[in-house]
Structure 1
Amino acid sequence: MSDEQDPVELFMVLDRWPLIPFNGDGEDDVVAEGSQLDGSSFSSSPSSSSQVGGELLLMGFVIVNIVGLQYYSGTINGRELVSLVRDPLNTHDPNAIKVLNTRSAQVGYIERAAAQVFAPLIDSRLVTVEGIVPKVSRQGNRYKIPCQVHIFARIAAFESVKSALSNGGLNLISEDSAAFALSEAAVVKDQVVAGDSKSIDAIFKLLDEKVLKKEALGTMEPPNSVIKSELLSHQKEGLWWLVQQESAHELPPFWEEKDGVFFNALTNYSTDKRPDPIRGGIFADDMGLGKTLTLLSLISFDKCASVVPVEEGDDSDERELRDGILAAFVGKNSKRGRVSTKANNSRKKLKSVGARAKEMKGEPVCDRVSGSSSTRTTLVVCPPAIFSVWITQLEEHTRPGSLKVYLYYGRQRTTDANVLQKHDIVLTTYNILANEEQLLESPIKKIEWWRVILDEAHIIKNVNAQQTRAVNNLIAKRRWVVTGTPIQNHSMDLYSLMTFLRVEPLSLKPYWVSLIQRPLVLGDENGIMRLQILMATMSLRRTKEKTLVGLPSKTLETIYVELSGEEREIYEQMELRAKSIVMEYICTEGSMKSYLTVLSALVRLRQICTDIAMCPPDLRDVLPVNKIGDVNSNPKLLDKMLMALQDDDGFDCPICISPPKNTVITSCAHIFCKICILKTLQHMKSCCPMCRHPLTESDLFFAPSEPTPDSVTDGNRSSSAPSSKATALLKLLCAVRDQNPTTKSVVFSQFRTMLLLLEAPLKAAGFKTLRLDGKMSAGQRADVIKGFGVPAPEGPTILLASLKASGAGINLTMASRVYLFEPWWNPAVEEQAMDRVHRIGQTEEVKIVRMIAHNTIEERILQLQEKKKLFASKIFKKKNSRDQRDVSVDDLRTLMHL
């Protein structure tokens, strides 16, 4: 498969399809694939899956001119990869292609004659292009410079692309031409290195040598005037690493200095101004290891640095942090002493989690220490469910009143930036930032933050999403990415993190694709080696297995369930139908609209594995019997897709980044919350925020009403008995109850209807249950978790939980048994759910049971999971490894036994 395919490419249909329909960004510019606008806005039209059926291969390159240099501030220094950005709204030329340099500054435009040839090829997704300015003499016309435009396409498209280039008067220099050796592309330069220039891998290996020379992790104690809890040893080491990263003064990765000139070895960009160090990184400790407490300890130093004297002429930020913190709060084994810090004893008590009504209106959580003059404010961005985690951690681990916190959330939040800067911590959500991205008066955008922390940062894995663009545009001195699962699906997840951290030039998509993604896709072992070096440079990762945190053991058991005769018959009928749909999709290189039909087929197969009651009684109503067709002229097909998709908690509305409420599907086959899409259409031009398809309210189709416990019927099932899986689950739960009646269990499912279907048989068996799903508000979820904490026999012993809604930000250590009712495409989501139970605070052995329907699509999903786990684990290892291809079209054939 191609390394530059859109998120709706086929491998993602199998591999991570629940995330796909929602990767649009709503940007106005249409960007050529392989390019990037402003470091984040890479266009990704969900309707473009033209790469299905083959990898993007280098056809060759053409030499064109960049013109209009006199009108723009961007400059080119030596050999440099440039971004080619389509500008279809250009009033002078609808075929216009802008040229941006490595700093995202515009250099000029591709000359008009060449743009006229390239624009249709780019717009139709037949090609992706990379522009490279070779190191050439500047003599001649100083208002234009030559540029090599490297062209990538599928083999099937080679002839049509060659014909278009030839008819447009462009000379394609291909591999069989002697001039091909003049190519400056990384894919070519890696093979032919001339003169004194360093190969790409040599540059990465030099970076690796710097990493190996760094000292081993030390330990550091937080100031006890703020942090009252004793940190575990791995948390002290993590704190030491965080402080070291923030106090860095060395050059960023890939930058070198020679004779007072600073240059980037990967781009050859040079400047006489020293580039700023990257003060931050990726804090990727395993889930449940106490990252929040470690981060609060880091923030607590901001309350103490001001006691260190300031010498005239010094960089006060760097010096205070380095001298005032590193010298004052070192590990117990150090000979350095602890500097005492004055603190006011008249502190106001932090309010309890149960009295948070004012916080939700944007009022402060607690008051600052009297007399403190610190203005170092940390912005913490997280999902709403994580608010309670931060508040709880503040209450449990910090001294009352020592940190002043503001919840920038709710309708009554302040519009005054000065109010925010008077606090030590400002908590907000990704959705709030996305909503305020277009607001010029947003106080969040007016502040240069001392530190920005992205909690659960894998949320920004899609660089095209609006919330990703919003966090990338934040102004900050220190930037932290915090996630226990930095890779959820694919190496492109990490690219989004690089854009936030400003790791040049890998924060630019052309460089990431050229140097990292394409080698991985082509199976080049150097791709994984480069990624390993990059992660060793930028991240800290410890796992529970390698960290002595005293956690009880965790065991994982897979139980295979045989479907009943009736279930097997219905499953095989559905699988036969689904195969024909998938085959048509593969053969016709289907669009987003047919893609959603494939999704609904896969959802139905998975639902049958859990309970056939979730399918309509007449299977002919499940999927269309004719060709997939265009959903725009087939509203009934839209209804059928929604019936299958709305119950799956794997989907998020791309606007609010939450499971959709009052689900709506558009005529262009994108799914939103009703209120989200209506608001969006009111505030922007009438088009889909995902694909720019013209859109009005008449193009919106509404899902059937959501099921309730009373409305769930037996559907296809001929008897009222529970499904085979539900029966197996009941036996397991009864066996646990017989051993210990007080044992609490969490049953995770991706389907809300399945949670409803389980309630009746569990109640009949004498179990007290609670349910937690994505349709509940944050307050309702908090009440459920509180209720689940009541000890048995008075309290419930079973929590029926949505996998996505319960996968992050909650603590379920009161349970010791976990049941995964069906497998999920993304193993990281499952791991997050497991670690709600197996985390610091757990006192019992944790047993996890994964339930798999034998000889079904669920077994094949496990195969995809293993591929993802292998890749995610290897990027943190220092080993070369082969066979690193991303999931390909073959995986879809594997899933469907084609």
Structure 2
Amino acid sequence: MADDLINMEEDDESSLSLTETFLVGFVIVNVVGLQHYSGTISGREMVGLLRDPLNPYDPNAIKVLNTRGLQVGYIERASAAVLAPLIDDRIVNVEGIVPNLPRIKNRYKLPCQIHIFARPESFSRVTAAVSRSELTMISEGEASFGLSEAVVVKEKKKKDARSVDEIFKLVGAEEDRKGGKFKKAVAPPRDFIKTELLAHQKEGLGWLVDRERSEELPPFWEERGGVFSNVLTNYQTNLRPEPLMGGIFADEMGLGKTLTLLSLIAVNRLGYSNNGSGKRSKGKRVTTQAESVSAKKRRGNDNISLSVGNEESGVKTTLIVCPPTVFSTWITQLDDHTRSGSFKVYMYYGERTGDVRELQSYDIVLTTYSTLATELDDADSPIKMIEWYRVILDEAHLIKNVGARQSKAVIALKAKRRWAVTGTPIQNGSFDLFSLMAFLKFEPFSIKSYWQRLVQNSLNQGNDRGLARLQVLMATISLRRIKENNLVGLPPKTLEICHVELLVEERDQYDHMEIEAKTVLQDYIRVGSLMHNYSTVLSIILRLRQICDDMALCPSDIKSMLSAFKIGDASNKPELLEKIVSVLQDGDDFDCPICISPPVDMVITCCAHLYCRACILKAIKRPNANCPLCRRPLTQSDLFSAPQEPSVLPDNVSSSGKATSSKVSALMRLLKASRNENSSTKSVVFSQFRKMLILLEEPLKEAGFRFLRLDGSMTAKKRAEVIERFQNQGEDAPSVMLASLKASGAGINLTAASRVYLLEPWWNPAVEEQAMDRVHRIGQTEDVKVVRLIVKNSIEERILELQERKKELAREAFRRKSARDRSQMGAEDIRRLMSL
């Protein structure tokens, strides 16, 4: 849920929150300062508008960018003073279009139509702000409105011979004409890859190789008489655009993407090892995978003299970016599937080299998103100096917030071949895809304003056109196969829901708390502050969810906490703010809005927004510091922390001497029935609450189960040890794994189990899918059964409804069929969750 709420209030570079907005009208302004910037406009073109609040000369500054992302100039000062406050307050979205230019151009300024979009309830505020200035709002119905060059207006004009949708249809038809993605299957060189690829992996490798060798114009570009034009933006250039050598590799989890990517690297490894003679080079020693990893701190013993990375130098180093938990997966796959001495591998993590030449002597460099984020501002970072032959983002959905440091870091990497690899490219909604477009440098969709107007606006307003455009985009740059198509002959996976009836005491407490919560939320709705108090909303809903698991998770003082929630400024109630932090630390589904990762040393602001301590401290160091979400001025004294957590869990987090909760009792019945059916069956129990996993230990001991626990508090080494122990099949091997859903959702293999139990539904269905596919993947030999435990007549049932809407969008993005983008969590969704 936190992701959904946060995605509605993005970083400084973002547009208005992703809810339904409509065209208010347009104003005509001047773009000035043209002589100072390299970006040019050659005709009727869309332009990007980007707020520049840190501009030392004008805090209202709005940059103007062309379709290549180059700055053209600034909106003139007087006009920016009107528009900037509306943009900063998230009242409007703005789109810029430079109309057809006169033959005689002014070298100092050019006209620009700025189209203003807002929610209907904000129309009067917007028009009032414009009327108080020298600008003139031209709205629909006025004679001058026919001059509008906006996409949303052009689409309504029948005389427009080539609408945006027609352009998309032509591109889609061209993709179909090419005969699909599987023109040929490619087998990797056996000198490097010892495992025989499955048919779908060979087909996938063929697609990857074709994409990397493409010499075609990127989609939406045309050549006429030596001039290259982007048919969507009308940008023209005499320089041929670079081909789009890369894309989104979106096969469902468990289909062997890692092996396919290693095969892609091997294809190129063979290419530059042959020295053009068709024979293996004998002049350069390569180490085994194990030797490379163990010798990661060695400095330069096997260095090859190479210039900074480019095609001519022969450097074909692949940079792989992944979470730390996935490191072991890549190393294991290298050991299992490649021949000894095939690849030199360097782990750029922790203590690491600063030598560019050393990094270029390796075939594969493994690093993490967080490592790149720490080097974002480091001019001496060797990662930033190299133009990589290829960059692979594993678990690429981790960059879904384009404004986060780790997203900015990977987008800034230099490479000609870029791959975004994820089984869940859409997690919360279609806007997740924008950051992938930015990484892939897929113009014009890599610029936020163009993505917003060409795709997102239509999706938000429920137009079938938006989804059709999204589908064409995904067809041109992505490959997606699912296990339901029986590509790998996996045993079947069945999903069941086990409905749980609460005990009388549990039901009384749940109903009482839900009534209290509804009262608080209705007050927020009444004064229009629901989304501004998302931390409070989240903490209330979190407690309802915890009661569904076990009342021991919910503190006894929850009623007094609820009654303390009041509308307005909370800065004089630090004890309340500290309590909210304590509540949210119990959950595992909240991300810091700045780094889009689970908060480290969580703090809350006086305006009730939550961040990592380090993230918000850095954010408020700038001049005129304010909250990144609500823009309230902030200082360090406006930040509050939770009381220090005890080193041991409190007494109330224990089942000893207490009645077992309804959900725990239901789980134990299921586990015992599975053991009675087959004593060798292994099970994974997922929960988002670490305290819930600990609560389960006592009942499991009493029932005679051997179990292990895997959660986010463990080091990567400890997690690997736990997974290895669980995969063992001996008589004394553990049969149950208690796993934190988020800590265990990616990069690990749990195929020793064939039963999965999800103790509570997650806001983001993609996280659940990743978790269950740790079990249902290549290597699984047993039928897999997934059981979701859902409390009847509770918030859990309503979460399932929200999940289904998100799943539908993710499915529709890869096929030609209409559906609305209803994936973002908004006020209406919260009303449904709480039955308001």
Same fold (TM over 0.5): yes
State the 1:71 CA deviation: 2.2
Q: Distance in 2 between matches of 1:633 and 1:591?
A: 20
Q: Distance in 2 between matches of 1:674 and 1:579?
A: 31
Match of 2:170?
A: 206
Q: Distance in 2 between matches of 1:525 and 1:496?
A: 23
Q: Is the 8 A contact 2:579 2:642 kept in 1?
A: no
Match of 1:235?
A: 201
Higher mean C-alpha displacement, 64-73 vs 586-595: 586-595
Q: Is the 8 A contact 2:289 2:345 kept in 1?
A: no
Match of 1:839?
A: 777
Identity of aligned residues (%): 57
Task: List runs of 5+ in structure 1 lacking aligned partners.
Answer: 1-11, 35-48, 311-323, 325-338
Match of 1:46?
A: none
Letter of the 1:839 partner, please give it: R
Match of 1:81 among 21, 24, 46: 46
Q: Distance in 2 between matches of 1:815 and 1:708?
A: 32
Q: Is the 8 A contact 1:456 1:482 kept in 2?
A: yes
Match of 2:732 among 794, 805, 808: 794
State the 1:144 CA deviation: 1.6
Secondary structure class of the residue paired with 2:341? coil
Letter of the 2:764 partner, please give it: N
Please state if 1:180 is matched with 2:118: no
State the 1:116 CA deviation: 2.3
Q: Distance in 2 between matches of 1:884 and 1:32?
A: 19
Match of 1:333?
A: none
Q: CA 1:596–1:893 in structure 2 vs 1: closer, same or farther (change >3 Å)? A: same
Match of 1:546?
A: 485
Secondary structure class of the residue paired with 1:204? helix
Match of 2:467 among 512, 517, 528: 528
Match of 1:404 among 336, 340, 344: 344
State the 1:477 CA deviation: 1.1
Higher mean C-alpha displacement, 637-646 vs 275-284: 637-646
Please state if 1:417 is matched with 2:356: yes
Letter of the 2:804 partner, please give it: E
Secondary structure class of the residue paired with 2:578? helix
Higher mean C-alpha displacement, 534-543 vs 759-768: 759-768
The alignment of Structure 1 onto Structure 2 pairs a total of residues equal to 825
Secondary structure class of the residue paired with 1:633? coil
Q: Distance in 1 between matches of 2:50 and 2:409?
A: 20
CA RMSD of aligned residues (A): 2.8
Match of 1:386?
A: 326
Secondary structure class of the residue paired with 2:73? strand
Match of 2:765 among 827, 842, 855: 827
Match of 2:679 among 725, 738, 741: 741
Q: Is the 8 A contact 1:567 1:608 kept in 2?
A: yes
Letter of the 1:167 partner, please give it: R
Letter of the 2:316 partner, please give it: R
Q: Distance in 2 between matches of 1:94 and 1:533?
A: 39
Q: Distance in 2 between matches of 1:170 and 1:70?
A: 25
Q: CA 1:362–1:699 in structure 2 vs 1: closer, same or farther (change >3 Å)? A: farther
State the 1:142 CA deviation: 3.6
Q: Is the 8 A contact 2:33 2:74 kept in 1?
A: yes
Please state if 1:257 is matched with 2:197: no
Higher mean C-alpha displacement, 589-598 vs 639-648: 589-598
Match of 1:157 among 116, 122, 142: 122
Q: Is the 8 A contact 1:623 1:640 kept in 2?
A: no
Match of 1:728 among 666, 671, 687: 666
Match of 2:574?
A: 635
Match of 2:712?
A: 774
Q: CA 1:163–1:874 in structure 2 vs 1: closer, same or farther (change >3 Å)? A: same
State the 1:755 CA deviation: 0.7
Match of 1:321?
A: none
Letter of the 2:331 partner, please give it: I
Q: Distance in 1 between matches of 2:173 and 2:185?
A: 23
Q: Is the 8 A contact 2:750 2:775 kept in 1?
A: yes
Secondary structure class of the residue paired with 2:229? strand
Match of 1:278?
A: 244
Secondary structure class of the residue paired with 1:407? strand
Match of 1:331?
A: none
Q: Distance in 2 between matches of 1:719 and 1:307?
A: 68
Q: Distance in 2 between matches of 1:726 and 1:236?
A: 45
Q: Is the 8 A contact 1:362 1:406 kept in 2?
A: no
State the 1:367 CA deviation: 10
Match of 1:222?
A: 188
Q: Is the 8 A contact 1:681 1:696 kept in 2?
A: no
Letter of the 2:483 partner, please give it: K
1:205-254 CA-to-partner distances (Å, cap 9, x unmatched) read 11112111213511111011111111111100010000000000000010
Q: Is the 8 A contact 1:649 1:774 kept in 2?
A: no
Higher mean C-alpha displacement, 249-258 vs 787-796: 787-796
Q: Distance in 2 between matches of 1:760 and 1:514?
A: 55
Q: Distance in 2 between matches of 1:468 and 1:758?
A: 37
1:286-311 CA-to-partner distances (Å, cap 9, x unmatched) read 1000000000000012221136677x
Q: CA 1:611–1:705 in structure 2 vs 1: closer, same or farther (change >3 Å)? A: farther
Match of 1:189 among 128, 150, 154: 154
Q: Distance in 2 between matches of 1:363 and 1:764?
A: 54
Q: CA 1:837–1:524 in structure 2 vs 1: closer, same or farther (change >3 Å)? A: same
State the 1:393 CA deviation: 0.3
1:661-716 CA-to-partner distances (Å, cap 9, x unmatched) read 443334454444556666x479977957845766565444332444777524169x
Q: CA 1:186–1:824 in structure 2 vs 1: closer, same or farther (change >3 Å)? A: same
Q: Distance in 1 between matches of 2:72 and 2:406?
A: 28
Match of 2:546?
A: 607
State the 1:633 CA deviation: 2.5
Letter of the 1:205 partner, please give it: K
Letter of the 2:336 partner, please give it: E
Match of 2:23?
A: 58
Secondary structure class of the residue paired with 1:230? coil
Q: CA 1:365–1:851 in structure 2 vs 1: closer, same or farther (change >3 Å)? A: farther
Q: Is the 8 A contact 1:456 1:483 kept in 2?
A: yes
Secondary structure class of the residue paired with 2:737? strand
Match of 1:479?
A: 418
Match of 1:335?
A: none
Q: Distance in 1 between matches of 2:596 and 2:123?
A: 39
Higher mean C-alpha displacement, 848-857 vs 505-514: 505-514
Match of 2:514 among 570, 575, 585: 575
Match of 1:33?
A: 15
Q: CA 1:622–1:615 in structure 2 vs 1: closer, same or farther (change >3 Å)? A: farther
Higher mean C-alpha displacement, 852-861 vs 785-794: 785-794
Q: Distance in 2 between matches of 1:819 and 1:405?
A: 37
Match of 1:266?
A: 232
1:72-107 CA-to-partner distances (Å, cap 9, x unmatched) read 221112111112223333343333322121122221
Q: Distance in 2 between matches of 1:32 and 1:24?
A: 6
Alignment of structure 1 residues 282-431 onto 2, 5 Å: 282-306=248-272, 341=280, 348-351=287-290, 359=296, 375-410=315-350, 412-431=351-370
Q: Distance in 2 between matches of 1:383 and 1:83?
A: 32
1:358-378 CA-to-partner distances (Å, cap 9, x unmatched) read 65x68899999xxxx952100
Task: List runs of 5+ in structure 2 lacking aligned partners.
Answer: 305-312
Q: Distance in 1 between matches of 2:595 and 2:92?
A: 32
Q: Is the 8 A contact 2:230 2:236 kept in 1?
A: yes
Match of 1:247?
A: 213
Letter of the 2:29 partner, please give it: V
Secondary structure class of the residue paired with 2:152? helix
Q: CA 1:837–1:686 in structure 2 vs 1: closer, same or farther (change >3 Å)? A: farther
Secondary structure class of the residue paired with 2:562? coil
State the 1:652 CA deviation: 3.6
Letter of the 1:379 partner, please give it: L
Q: Distance in 1 between matches of 2:299 and 2:561?
A: 49
Q: CA 1:695–1:777 in structure 2 vs 1: closer, same or farther (change >3 Å)? A: farther
Q: CA 1:882–1:873 in structure 2 vs 1: closer, same or farther (change >3 Å)? A: closer
Q: Is the 8 A contact 2:428 2:823 kept in 1?
A: no
Q: CA 1:418–1:830 in structure 2 vs 1: closer, same or farther (change >3 Å)? A: same
Q: CA 1:675–1:177 in structure 2 vs 1: closer, same or farther (change >3 Å)? A: closer
State the 1:178 CA deviation: 2.0
Match of 2:81?
A: 116
State the 1:381 CA deviation: 0.4
